[in-house]
A and B are shown apart, each in its own frame.
Chain A
Amino acid sequence: MAAIQESSTNSPIGKRTPRVDGPLKVTGKAKYTSDFHFPGLLYAVPVEATIANGRIIKLDTARAEKMPGVSAIFHRENIGKISRAVLGEGFEGITDERRPPFEDDVIRYYGQYVALAVASTFETAKAAADAVRVEYSKEKPNVDTHLKADDEPQTVATTFATLKRVQSERGDADEAFQKAPVKLDETYVTPAETQNPLELHSTTAIWDGTTLTLYESSQGVVNLQTVLAQMFGLPKENVRVITKFVGSGFGSKLFPWTHCPLAAAAARKLGKPVKLVVSRKMMFQTVGHRPRTQQRVRLGATDDGKLVSLQHDYVYTTSMLDIHHEDCGETTAFHYSVPNLHVEFGRAKRNIGATADMRGPGAVPGMYATEAAMNEMADLLKLDPVKFRVLNEPKIDESLGVPFSSRHLLECLELGTEKFGWSRRKPETGSMKRDGLTLGWGMASCAWIAARFPAEANVQLRDDGTVRVACATQDIGTGTYTILAQLAAEKTGVPLDKVEAVLGDTLLPAGPLSGGSMATGSVVPAVFSAADHAIAALMGIATKTPGSPFEKRKSDELTLRDGKVFLKEKDSAAGVPFADLLKRANVRLVTGNGKGEATFGDPKPKFSMHSYGCHFVEVTWQPEIARLRVSRVVTVIDAGRIINPLAGRNQIEGAVVMGLGMALFEQTAYDPQNGAPINASLADYIVTVNADAPQIDVHFLDYPDKELNEVGARGIGEIGLAGIAAAITAAVHHATGVRVRELPVRIEDLLA
């Protein structure tokens, strides 16, 4: 068994490393986007549509415009041109809501921005926004929760690619299902969910005539830069995006939303910096949400528990104009061995804001359905659910016909079983008790894609002995500053406190999105090659500077370790600090650029690359008061090499807590009459609070996946949320005898 190995050397990789930006955050010095202030700053507040379907007939801004302190009320006629962005090469130009704000008079979802009030104070802008009167011609919105796939061709355009709706197929799934001795045919529903990062979305836009500078709470500054250049017809280098700290995003900050060009357009018109902070209510309307999904899963198995057929047909909601793809089938085709398979999707348009990625898009709702079906099938077969999974473990990725780069799901299951004490489980529902409570035990496995976005980085070695690593990626609270510093420290051997990590600025080398759990894996090759190039420059100086102790040596005879240059055959005690070599040569710094290519979207990969894991869950149940609580979770994750176990554990624990919310609380409800997200506040949209957090026990296997990068690190941001809801619903069934197939599991479902 591979436990996490703390390197015997001074390597920072794999060391429990407190956040390098921690002190800034706990002392309040970390500046989040809305913390930036500028002279002459104006405040913008959008006016939102109060219908979900129809047209603007009349917009009366007269009263608002006359209010003291109001700079302007912008709308379609006076905001100036805002063009569309389109997808280009290299994951740039992406928007989930493709229609630029104010493009036409049609209202397609509740809360759509129809005007923008700008004033000298936030309060005035809000009062002015409230004073704008809008007349609509109104039609009944379609927010129907029952989903039937729209009539669409078999091949459809989606945000990243044109996709076949039958996304994977082998054998004859239907026939095999019909003939299967044991069959399961159930439909699972997940509701619309809203990401709700604690930090509100916000933009501060500054135009100096030629350059647009934008402070934005973003998970992808490089993409945002491209989008804005397209929207305002600017050379890319005339747009600068800055995101120093992000109070989390959960996917909602991956791609730009309409508030962002609105703030920029207002700043352009007014010639003054404009700040726009989206309200919590708008967070439910205009910055994306996880679509509702309805997933039919059909499983056929032999009596002894071998899967013979797997069919996964799912439908999800999209907004009227957009094409976000919720890939619920992402893991279905490879996760288990099954000869006959069919995975197909459809979409159902609704009068709702654009759907978007939310932590673990696709696989999280998808694996809720498939793993819940696996649990139900195990019950039908009277097989232990762990054993059922072991029986159907694939040898290769049967959908692509290629080997897995590194898959240790069986070991995850083994370790989880042991740590949880699973062998003591009694299968009968309601049969386990403790302290007067009924216990329910359930489990599920999980998987999440491992891939790389393109990434560039720069590393400098400086004559004061410090190292600077720079990359235009973001730290959305997950610890990317620390990872960058660890990677640079690994290559140069200087201690972490001598490494300066810089990110979140498009002036830096283009970095990856903080999404898909790919930021870490993507920056590894970029930072490593940048460091190699900087070190090569250093060696050049060491060997060429007159008077250098290494003068006349060849570069390849030298090496850099622990911040010192020395001859390979000698040990580091005999080395010379690189700072001394630089100073002696009168060189302030050496620099190296590095680059990593994308693997994401590769149509013919040599390996199937994913992370894996499993969750074991205990719930307590008190039927006398219909009280259900999650008391204990054991999660085992196989995510390659864990660069920072402290931050890694934190990610998994957070995902488990969020998964509890997905299983039991979270749901965005749309008013059937007017189409508004009706529980649009943190009081009415129930998320997990501290008191709900169970005892969480996280274990990592630590098998480096060298196919992905030199360190062997895959991502860990999302995998923890996959599967957990299915483990919880299985535990709920085990405790209560009630099978809930529509999330969240609510008190009313269990009262019967």
Chain B
Amino acid sequence: MSKISAPRSNREFIEACVQAGDAVRIKQEVDWENEAGAIVRRACELGAAAPFMEKIKDYPGFSYFGAPLSTYRRMAISLGMDPASSLPEIGKEYLKRTNSEPIAPVVIDRKDAPCKENILMGADVDLCKLPVPLVHDGDGGRYVGTWHAVVTKHPVRGDVNWGMYRQMMFDSRTMSGAVFPFSDLGKQLTEYYLPRGLSCPFATAIGLSPLAAMAACAPSPIPEPELVGMLSGEPARLVKCETNDLEVPADAEIIIEGEICPDYKVEEGPFGEYTGYRTSPRDFRVTFRVNCITYRNNATMTISNMGVPQDEGQLLRSFSLGLELEKLLRSQGIPVTGVYMHPRSTHHMMIVGVKPSYSGIAQQIGQLAFGSKLGPWFHMVMVVDDQTDIYNWDEVYHAFCTRCHPENGIHVYRNTTGTPLYPFATPQERKYSIGSKVVFDCLWPVDWDKVNDVPTLVSFKNVYPQDIQDRVLANWTAYGYPEVKK
């Protein structure tokens, strides 16, 4: 693999974003209560530069970095690519790196780990010493974890999991969070810790390198520490926790160590969610008791503000869910041309391009997609042919409206796994994570006669001879039209 020069820490990333004009330094004091959240939200809705807020009310010495990965430009920067890279180029690079050899992390000495510069233990532990923001007015609490990784380990198998599961501050030493039952941590808890009444050690790492954050929310089967290595082309630097055996990213800004309680639950939520709504109600959820906090000098807390498109939850999850599905479909020999999720679908619709080489291929794709680990996160799969540009919504929408037969082309699956956050789901479905799914088959049926039954697409590209197309393109400005930007 050629040398990758991706930012190795949140600090390097902020610097790279500032250099590229993709982050702004905000010098004036910002309030942790709503104001910081509102800045991040507006930046997301405008697709603007990421706010680096250097002065926070009540918290001298701390700063915020908001909307870290809510544009494709910042995603390209995080991968060490040209910020102007196109989405298909970024996707290709992600696939190349995540199909490479795993790179094992290294564990460094604690004296070399920046995240150990300040250590709070015992009576000093107080989450309120961190600038935990009230992200949206009306949220159930101040959210400690909005762009972070919760690190845990399966005690028998030893599997390490880094997952981004939101965490609300309940009191100075307690957090509560929404860990879905089908997530890796959810399964670890229900499979091992809860039935045994054992507490589960955890460490929350905040202010990660952007690729570590990307790994924490990627639905990849590769263990996240290796995945970070593959994405960045070098081993992730980890360091052992102070109060348990977990290892955390040494360059993270803040580490919160503790235990997940099997026998104690406090309320969590409501919270502004990636669907663009507050859907899940307040409820008693997974509860994290904090035993130790470590942080860098002048620590920067990262904030993702989920709401209407587009924020990094939508952008990055759409990106990685789509590409992981592409890998899965290719591994099954399905002749896909690509898979794309538009972030504005709030990662609810997969668009799959395929060579329609046999009957039922759209349903096969849908069944694989919905039956996979990725499945609970979306409920629509739209399958288009290999001539349709999956990244061009105009083409996809045209295919959908003209080729999807209302009776034969729409396939509904009932009683599947869903998320409690689906805004359209009934209250009962939300409560029990029950989903339903739909495949939109926008392929011409293979048993139609290609000459007499399949309609001809009437477009500039499709109906004119090549020499005419070339002539018209060559003369376009001579006809009096302005030049068309590619």
> Do A and B share a complex?
no
